[in-house]
Chains A and B, each alone.
Chain A
Amino acid sequence: MRLIAMDTRNAVRIILGVIFLLGGFAYLFIEQPFPVVPPVLITAGLVYIFVGISRHRRAREGPEQDERTKRVAVLGMAYSWRVSLLLIAVLFWIDYFGIYRLKGYEAFGLATIVLAFTAIGFQQYFARHGDPGWPG
């Protein structure tokens, strides 16, 4: 197995992940005014560690990003933004006509989830195509 030097960003990701993880576990043993904090810290820590390790492994295959992957990332975000804008417009009219009364946190939560998942979905879709083109 070929070993390569770890990129500083990946090292920082892994260190942050370990800090979050340890912080989350430490929080379990003290008085908890906010019970939501430990699972959030532990989840964030695991995500940081996973992303750091997986990106370090991918770095063996070449640069983490090149012009095509940057284009794919930008296009994924652009299409995701369009879908999310459409969703927010639909949610507005649903609320306006009283079909369903959205609470603030529901709307924000839904928009955040849709933004994140559609961005990942579009990026994976475009990554499988050679030239994703530009949104027309």
Chain B
Amino acid sequence: VKTRIKEFRARYGYTQEELARRAGVRRETIVFLEKGAYNPSLRLAHNVATILHATIEDLFIFTDEPEPQEGGG
């Protein structure tokens, strides 16, 4: 999963901490979300999308391609 959370967050001037506080999660969860390293629940995805005045489809881009392995070339 690729995300555009960072881009939308910057658009509204939110820090990761501020977004986390509004979404009711820990900051690390936002960090992993932005990296596309965490698949959130539908509720969290909806919450984040609402805070960033976007839709889930705007924020999360699902690809069918297998994700590259860490450390792979």
A-side residues, CB < 8 A to B, are 61-63, 65-69, 129-131
User: What is the CB-to-nearest-CB distance from A2 to chain B, in angstroms, rounded to a whole number?
Assistant: 12
Given known contacts A62-B20, A68-B32, A129 and B37 CB-to-CB distance under 8 angstroms: yes
A62 and B25 contact, CB distance less than 8 A: yes
Q: A67-B44, A68-B32 are in contact. Are A131 and B26 (CB under 8 A)?
A: no
Which residues from 13 to 42 on chain B have a C-beta closer than 8 Å to any C-beta of chain A? 17, 20-21, 24-29, 32-33, 35, 37-41
How near does chain A come to B49, taking the closest CB pair, in angstroms? 15
A43 to B28, CA, bound (A): 31
Number of interface residues of B (CB under 8 A): 18
Closest to A68 in B: B29
Say which residue of A62, A129, A130 sits within 8 Å of B26 (CB atoms): A62
Q: How far is the CA of A19 from the CA of B29 in the complex (A)?
A: 36
Contact B37 A131 (CB under 8 A): yes
Q: How far is the CA of A130 from the CA of B33 in the complex (A)?
A: 8
Give the residues in chain B near A63, CB-CB below 8 Å.
Answer: 24-26
A92-B31 Cα distance, complex, nearest whole Å: 45
Please list the residues of chain B having a beta carbon within 8 angstroms of any beta carbon in chain A: 17, 20-21, 24-29, 32-33, 35, 37-41, 44
- Identify whether the interface residues of A are mostly helix, strand, loop, or mixed: loop
Q: Verify A68–B38 contact, CB threshold 8 A.
A: yes
> Least Cβ distance of A126 to chain B in Å?
11
Closest to A66 in B: B25
Given contacts A62-B20, A130-B32, A131-B32, is CB(A67)–CB(B25) below 8 Å?
yes
CA–CA, A90 to B22, complex, Å? 49
Chain A residues, Cβ within 8 Å of B44? 67
Q: Which of A61, A129, A130, A131 contacts B27 (CB 8 A)?
A: A61
Checking B21, B33, B35, B39 against A62 with a beta-carbon cut-off of 8 angstroms, the contacting residue is B21
